[in-house]
Structure 1
């Protein structure tokens, strides 16, 4: 699979560097390892769910780290000793360590995480601060009031 050349777009835009970096990094990640498999669901406008298939991992072998705009999920399995390895006739269940990263939009935070039936379910919610939400501005009824001065009606 060939990569994207975003150079023409970088030259004609300002402030979109992070977006182009995300596109290029994700294009590289798609070519790489897809373990463990995962789903991303949109439950509503501001709620999301990430589900990873982590069969064979216990809670103490999984780490979830949320930073600004990044969710990192990793699993570390202890190596099997020679005695334990000798007991297996066939090993078909993946028993390897992993690290999976998800880029998060602004104001998205982890609400909860649960492990059941070999699935790690991470609930995400987007909470835009009040200062960032759109505000309706009332129109003054016919008088022009300069900033810093009071109108005669007051």
Structure 2
């Protein structure tokens, strides 16, 4: 992947400096594809993140949300298992996956079923920010 210079955007995009910094930060991030995940649009304001966490139990997963950042960590408790694999195709390493959330996105619920961690999200815009019709008197 080639690197891009975002400095011209600082001159012409007023108020978007946070977005440019986000692009710069994620550009050099080599998180790989482990664990694999899907981001699904369920309805207009509802989303679902599904993460493949085969081999992890509930107590080995940690989900935290701070500001607009969602962090999902998986850490095996008993890492000192000695096994003699003839072939190992299932990765069992620890992971940390970060998701940048837009404003007003809230986590509604989390489910772990059949090796899939599903995180349901919803955009809830405050009433004061929704458009309203003003009558002429």
Task: Please indicate, yes or no, whether the TM-score normalized by the shorter chain is above 0.5.
Answer: yes
- The within-5 A match list for 1:138-149 is 138-140=135-137
Residue 110 of structure 1 is matched in structure 2 by 107
Q: How does 1:74-85 map to 2 (within 5 A)?
A: 74-81=73-80, 84-85=81-82
Give the Cα separation in 2 of the matches to 1:121 and 1:71.
13
CA distance in 2 between partners of 1:110 and 1:132 (Å): 20
Aligned to 1:151: none
Kindly provide the CA deviation profile for residues 89-109 of structure 1, in whole angstroms up to 9, marking residues without a partner as x. Answer: 443321111000000000001
Q: Give 4+ residue runs of structure 1 displaced > 3 Å after superposition.
A: 86-91
* Structure 1 residues 65-92: Cα deviation after superposition (integer angstroms, max 9, x where no partner): 11211110000013533xx414544433
> Matched residue of 1:20: which SS?
helix
Q: How big is the alpha-carbon RMSD for the aligned residues of Structure 1 and Structure 2?
A: 1.5
Larger radius of gyration: 1
State whether structure 2 residue 54 is matched by structure 1 residue 55: yes
How does the TM-score come out when normalised to structure 1? 0.82
Match of 1:9 in 2: 9
Unaligned runs of 5+ in 2: none
